Amino acid sequence: MNRNKSLNIPRVEQLGVLDSAEALINILDEHGIRRNISSLNWPEEFPYRPLATFATAHDGKTLWIDFLVRCNYLRAENYTDQSPVSQDSCVEVFLKPENSEEYWNFEFNCIGTANASHRVRRSEPTRLSAAELSSIVRHPSCGTRPFCELEGLFTWNLLVGIPLSLMGVEAQKGSARLKGNFYKCASACSMPHYMSWNPIDPPKPDFHRPEFFGDIILE
């Protein structure tokens, strides 16, 4: 198993002039890079593996990510930002800029509710302000109304646009280096799961482990 994955995220200037979710997703599929979130890190305790992928690119100012998920359980009970969205059908990206002691966690449930902070250690978060959260673009295919868990066969996507300035990252005139990981989880669903793009190996589920981040380059 590759425990030190790397990801070169292409620069696609066209993303910066589009405002339609459908157009943005089409550009990401055509010119971005898509990877699987498939590392089942605790297979004996949490064996459920929904299909989860992400397509990503940036335009120098914004990191665009289209998460795509196919699953058997769908939950979205948290509807206010900075609530525990990891309980719901959730996708996440954690990023640590080069030469920064802090990392940023961006967590979203399937209706686009966000939980986002920056920190050096898990126990000492600095929550993003309401203004900072409002700067993050979110286009959920499930809509924005909360609902209790549903069982069936569901395919959903969430397009997010994260301003690089939130993390102090400058990528308008050249490349930028970060560390990071992408996750799929749902701790309160009937089939809880904790999957990642880059494998992680703590004794119990814990995504706040920068030592397991992969290498990310914004080209």
Q: Which residues contact 97 (CB under 8 A, 6 or more apart)?
A: 167, 168, 169, 176, 177, 178
What mean pLDDT is predicted for residues 150-173?
96
Number of Cβ within a 10 Å radius of residue 20:
9
> Which tokens is 4 given?
């030190």
Q: Which residues are 48's β-sheet partners?
A: none
Share of the chain above pLDDT 70, in %: 99
Read out DSSP for 75-133?
EE---STTS-GGGSSEEEEEEEETT-S-EEEEEEETT--EEEEEESSTTS-EEPPHHHH
Please state which architecture CATH assigns to domain 6-218.
Sandwich (2.60)
> Which tokens is 110 given?
């399937």
The pLDDT, as a whole number, for residue 1 is: 52
Instruction: Tell me the C-alpha to C-alpha distance, in Å, between residue 113 and each of 24, 94, 107.
Output: 20, 16, 8
| Whole-prediction pTM | 0.97
Tens digit of pLDDT for each residue in 50-81?
Answer: 999 999 999 999 999 999 999 999 999 999 99
What mean pLDDT is predicted for residues 20-38?
97
Q: In the chain, what are the domain boundaries?
A: 6-218
The pLDDT, as a whole number, for residue 191 is: 98
Q: Is the pLDDT of residue 2 over 80?
A: no
Average pLDDT of every residue of the chain: 96
Grade residue 3 by pLDDT with cuts at 50, 70 and 90. confident
Q: What are phi and psi of 131, to 5 degrees?
A: -65, -40
Tens digit of pLDDT for each residue in 178-212?
Answer: 999 999 999 999 999 999 999 999 999 999 999 99
Q: Which residues contact 161 (CB under 8 A, 6 or more apart)?
A: 24, 62, 63, 64, 65, 136, 137, 138
Show the DSSP H helices in the chain as ranges: 21-31, 130-134
